[in-house]
């Protein structure tokens, strides 16, 4: 029964990634509990699948014209540079404190997003593009460093932070698909040297995650903006709470 359950969870994870950018973290405990992998193996295997879900998600969003490259490129620059430093810091310091801070930010962003779903918030530095680009590089740096340090996927940090700054949910989710590729490639490169994978489960999970991503992208482009904000808010709260519990080692 293990494989059917993993297939079902992979489909759900893929749909969440395609629809709201967040959800990949759910695959790690599934591989650990159902697949019998160690946490390190589960993280390495899950992270490798996100390369492919990111590629499919990026292609699907771009085909619909839903990726704003003006905000995506500076985010990716910051994430690409500081992801390495986050991975280096992971081997040097205790990450529990920062993990608690990051998870608290995600929960706060989720609560804020959910309770302000009917309000319009101006994008930060909307009329000052130079400052906005610098800010986005900074956000990308936080996302990259946090991902490398804690093992949290890029979208789990980028989506709530971008929502807090007033960026439209659909553009935020589109950008998260691209960031996902960078974070996954960076982490997987390190895991190829130091980690281990379950290649059978990697192939199975990737296949059904991709199917889920395609379905998720279709769903999100048919959703009302307020409903989308509500979904993003609720998922941020759940994911943030899960990360907090993991950091506290419940």
The string of DSSP codes covering 51-63 is HHHHHHHHHHHHH
For residue 104, the tally of other CB atoms under 10 A from its CB is 14
Write a three-state SS string for 152-197: CCHHHHHHHHHHHCCCCHHHHHHHHHHHHHHHHHHHHHHHHHHCCC
pLDDT of residue 2: 84
Which pLDDT does position 225 carry in this prediction? 65
pLDDT tens track for 93-110: 665 676 677 778 778 777
Q: Which residues of the chain have pLDDT under 70?
A: 1, 87, 90-96, 98-99, 116-121, 150-153, 194-195, 225, 249-250
Give the pLDDT of residue 98: 67
Give residue 93's pLDDT: 66
pLDDT confidence of residue 190:
74
pLDDT, position 21: 81
Number of residues assigned to the chain: 250
pTM of the predicted model as reported, rounded to 2 decimal places: 0.81
The pLDDT score that the predictor gives to residue 230 is 81
* pLDDT at residue 143, rounded to an integer: 84
The pLDDT value recorded for residue 95 is 59
């Amino acid at each position: 029964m293990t494989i059917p359950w993993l297939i079902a969870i992979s489909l759900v994870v893929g749909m969440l990634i395609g629809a709201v950018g967040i959800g990949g973290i759910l695959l790690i405990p599934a591989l650990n509990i159902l697949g019998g992998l160690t946490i390190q193996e589960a993280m390495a295997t899950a992270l490798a699948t996100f390369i492919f879900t990111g590629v499919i998600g990026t292609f699907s969003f771009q085909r619909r014209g839903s990726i704003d490259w003006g905000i995506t490129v500076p985010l990716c620059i910051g994430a690409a540079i500081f992801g390495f430093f986050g991975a280096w810091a992971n081997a040097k310091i205790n990450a529990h404190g920062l993990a608690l801070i990051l998870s608290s930010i995600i929960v706060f962003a989720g609560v804020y997003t959910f309770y302000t779903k009917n309000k319009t918030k101006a994008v930060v530095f909307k009329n000052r593009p130079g400052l906005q680009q610098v800010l986005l590089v900074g956000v990308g740096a936080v996302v990259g460093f946090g991902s490398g340090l804690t093992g949290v996927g890029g979208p789990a940090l980028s989506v709530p932070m971008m929502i807090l700054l007033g960026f439209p949910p659909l553009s935020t989710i589109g950008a998260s698909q691209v960031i996902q590729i960078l974070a996954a490639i960076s982490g997987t490169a390190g895991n190829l040297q130091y980690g281990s994978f379950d290649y059978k489960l990697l192939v199975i999970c990737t296949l059904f995650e991709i199917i889920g991503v395609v379905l998720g992208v279709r769903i999100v482009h048919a959703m009302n903006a307020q409903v989308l904000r509500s979904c993003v808010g609720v998922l941020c709260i759940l994911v943030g709470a899960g990360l907090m519990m993991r950091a506290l080692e419940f």
